[in-house]
A and B are shown apart, each in its own frame.
Chain A
């Protein structure tokens, strides 16, 4: 076990060095969320009404957090895919390190990477007028939820890397899956404004659940669901936890197995 922990940490340190030396690859975790904050707060925000009233900029932050953390899957998938294309995976596999240390190292690095957008967005949010109105316990729970979701999303990244292979293909998939997933949701607009079919999708979308849960835990506008809304909108924290647990318990083992198989041919 200590051998696994040691090798994991060696790989994780490498991942962190990569991020530090290739800041352009961190754009989705740094520049992009800040641009979204500015874009929605100042450009679109004036035209969007928050149901139940309140500041749109405060409503926005839960959504931006959820979107950016979902994008984290790509950081993981890209790192894994480029390791495979440039032969690093073969080098590691020819070393006597425990099976699984490569993945767990990437996972630790990805989790540490997630602290960056969380911190940057919190600061950007505070600058545009976002505040946490709840108590300390709920605020901490909000941040804990963000890390838990980041952890779950890592395994979606592993699954993606196992399925597609090259970094270019990973980039391509981003537009097909992640954009609908993060935009057809309560991230930037209240779901009540969407057409019926999209509204149902948005209401059950896990990205909406995270956004809603964060609004609730930080006591931001938009946290209160209309009486006839479906269950996830009334219980966003519970619904988020169901997704997180489901991804980790069901998807992670499959992702790990698929990844191991994809690299051993």
Chain B
């Protein structure tokens, strides 16, 4: 295995006609690390993955994956990577086992070896019983696991997972996180994309926040949250007319000016006080005689991170506001 970083990209630009999908992305991922690209739809996450996995050629810039140039030595790159694309691209008209055997054969494994490899992977991903069923009968979680198994056929050095849990129900998502954590412990380098800060935090030790085709922040979950201001005090009022007084009280217990969302009847403000801040606020509310529907500490969401980093909510949140208005 070669030394040097698993992924190094500099100045990646991708234009489709007038549209700029990537506006200059630099990335470096050391071997064995797990990097999450975090950002809303259309931020450029998938385009970055497509360039790094040789599916599309950058308009400008260069990238090396596993030590090979993605545009000049694509086959060498493909030998060493696994890609799980956004919507689990399993072949629905083949059985789980046939899917894996086919991929193994396309990786030039002899037929017999391909079969044993498929069996190993089916077992590892808890699909042995379903191995001879057509993939179109699989549940969403099973499809993802099969898709993931397919990316591991060649024992890749670097794994690309494009929104690995999108569209899964909470239980299947949790199961898949367990599988991914296990993989990561095995020492493979992973680049994953996600829209959820929670997912990035759980799986990755390093997060790059992507917006409008650029990396706008980089760090671990803790440092990103620190930029947002840590936990948020979150209060939902029973009556809308109480909002102003609640905001005043929240302001006393928090570290910054609270923000008020009238349509949600909520007041939010960053706090470093932890549970103590809740207790203090609860006391204040009680002595002021204000009833609230909900009071709690909330972790910052991707929206909060975005709000802080860009001064604007994510594009999707924008849409929602417009719809609500």
Interface residues of A (CB under 8 A from B): 3, 6-7, 10, 13-14, 17-18, 21-22, 86-88, 90-97, 264-265
Q: Does the CB pair B16–A18 fall under 8 Å?
A: no
Residue B134 at the chain A interface, CB threshold 8 Å: yes
Q: Does the CB pair A7–B106 fall under 8 Å?
A: yes
Residue B81 at the chain A interface, CB threshold 8 Å: yes
Q: Does the CB pair A95–B107 fall under 8 Å?
A: yes
Q: Does the CB pair A94–B81 fall under 8 Å?
A: yes
Known contacts A91-B83, A264-B55; is A96 also within 8 Å of B75 by CB? yes
Chain A contacts of B56 at CB under 8 A? 264-265
In terms of DSSP, what is the predominant structure of the interface of chain A? helix
Q: Does the CB pair A14–B102 fall under 8 Å?
A: yes
Q: Does the CB pair B53–A94 fall under 8 Å?
A: yes
Chain B contacts of A87 at CB under 8 A? 85-87, 89
Q: Does the CB pair B85–A10 fall under 8 Å?
A: no
Q: Does the CB pair B93–A91 fall under 8 Å?
A: no
Q: Does the CB pair B93–A18 fall under 8 Å?
A: yes
Q: Show 28 residue pairs from A and B whose CB-CB distance is below 8 angstroms, ordered by the A residue.
A: A3-B108, A6-B108, A7-B106, A10-B102, A10-B105, A14-B94, A17-B94, A21-B93, A21-B134, A86-B89, A88-B91, A90-B55, A90-B83, A91-B83, A91-B89, A91-B103, A91-B150, A92-B106, A94-B53, A94-B54, A94-B78, A94-B81, A94-B82, A94-B83, A95-B107, A96-B108, A264-B56, A265-B56
Q: How far is the CA of A100 from the CA of B101 in the complex (A)?
A: 20
Q: Does the CB pair B94–A264 fall under 8 Å?
A: no
Q: How far is the CA of A95 from the CA of B16 in the complex (A)?
A: 25
**B78: min CB distance to chain A, Å:** 4
Task: Kindly identify, within residues 64 to 105 of chain B, every residue whose CB is under 8 Å from any CB belonging to chain A.
Answer: 75, 78-79, 81-83, 85-87, 89, 91-94, 98, 102-103, 105
Residue B188 at the chain A interface, CB threshold 8 Å: no
Chain A: CB-nearest residue to B78: A96
Q: How far is the CA of A91 from the CA of B135 in the complex (A)?
A: 16
Q: Does the CB pair B106–A10 fall under 8 Å?
A: yes
Residue B180 at the chain A interface, CB threshold 8 Å: no
Chain B CB within 10 A, most for which of A18, A21, A93, A96: A96
Chain A CB within 10 A, most for which of B85, B98, B105, B134: B105
Q: Does the CB pair A90–B78 fall under 8 Å?
A: no
Q: How far is the CA of A21 from the CA of B87 in the complex (A)?
A: 22
Chain A contacts of B86 at CB under 8 A? 87
The residue from B16, B54, B93, B134 contacting A93, defined by CB atoms under 8 A apart: B54
Residue B57 at the chain A interface, CB threshold 8 Å: yes
Q: Does the CB pair B106–A90 fall under 8 Å?
A: no
Q: Does the CB pair B93–A90 fall under 8 Å?
A: no
Q: How far is the CA of A265 from the CA of B98 in the complex (A)?
A: 29
Q: Does the CB pair A264–B89 fall under 8 Å?
A: no
Chain B: CB-nearest residue to A88: B89
Interface residues of B (CB under 8 A from A): 16, 50, 53-57, 75, 78-79, 81-83, 85-87, 89, 91-94, 98, 102-103, 105-108, 134, 150
Chain B contacts of A10 at CB under 8 A? 102, 105-106
Q: Does the CB pair A97–B93 fall under 8 Å?
A: no
Q: How far is the CA of A3 from the CA of B109 in the complex (A)?
A: 11
Chain A contacts of B106 at CB under 8 A? 7, 10, 92, 95-97
Q: Does the CB pair B55–A94 fall under 8 Å?
A: yes
Chain A contacts of B94 at CB under 8 A? 14, 17
Chain B contacts of A96 at CB under 8 A? 75, 78-79, 106-108
**B77: min CB distance to chain A, Å:** 9
Chain A contacts of B57 at CB under 8 A? 264
Chain B contacts of A18 at CB under 8 A? 93
Chain B: CB-nearest residue to A87: B89
Q: Does the CB pair B91–A93 fall under 8 Å?
A: no
Chain B contacts of A21 at CB under 8 A? 93, 134
Q: Does the CB pair A95–B78 fall under 8 Å?
A: yes
Chain B: CB-nearest residue to A3: B108
Query: What 6 A-B pairs come out closest when comparing CB atoms?
Result: A87-B89, A96-B78, A94-B83, A91-B89, A96-B79, A10-B105
Chain B contacts of A90 at CB under 8 A? 50, 55, 83, 85, 89
Q: How far is the CA of A264 from the CA of B55 in the complex (A)?
A: 6
Given A7-B105, A7-B106, A94-B54, 15 extra CB contacts under 8 A: A3-B108, A6-B108, A10-B102, A10-B105, A21-B93, A86-B89, A90-B50, A90-B83, A91-B85, A93-B54, A94-B82, A95-B103, A96-B78, A96-B79, A264-B55
Q: How far is the CA of A96 from the CA of B134 in the complex (A)?
A: 25
**A19: min CB distance to chain B, Å:** 9
Chain B contacts of A88 at CB under 8 A? 89, 91
Chain A contacts of B87 at CB under 8 A? 86-87
**A181: min CB distance to chain B, Å:** 30
Q: How far is the CA of A17 from the CA of B94 in the complex (A)?
A: 7
Chain A contacts of B105 at CB under 8 A? 6-7, 10
**B109: min CB distance to chain A, Å:** 11
Chain B CB within 10 A, most for which of A14, A87, A91, A97: A91
**A46: min CB distance to chain B, Å:** 43
Chain B: CB-nearest residue to A22: B93
Q: How far is the CA of A93 from the CA of B54 in the complex (A)?
A: 8
Q: How far is the CA of A88 from the CA of B89 in the complex (A)?
A: 6
Chain A contacts of B85 at CB under 8 A? 87, 90-91
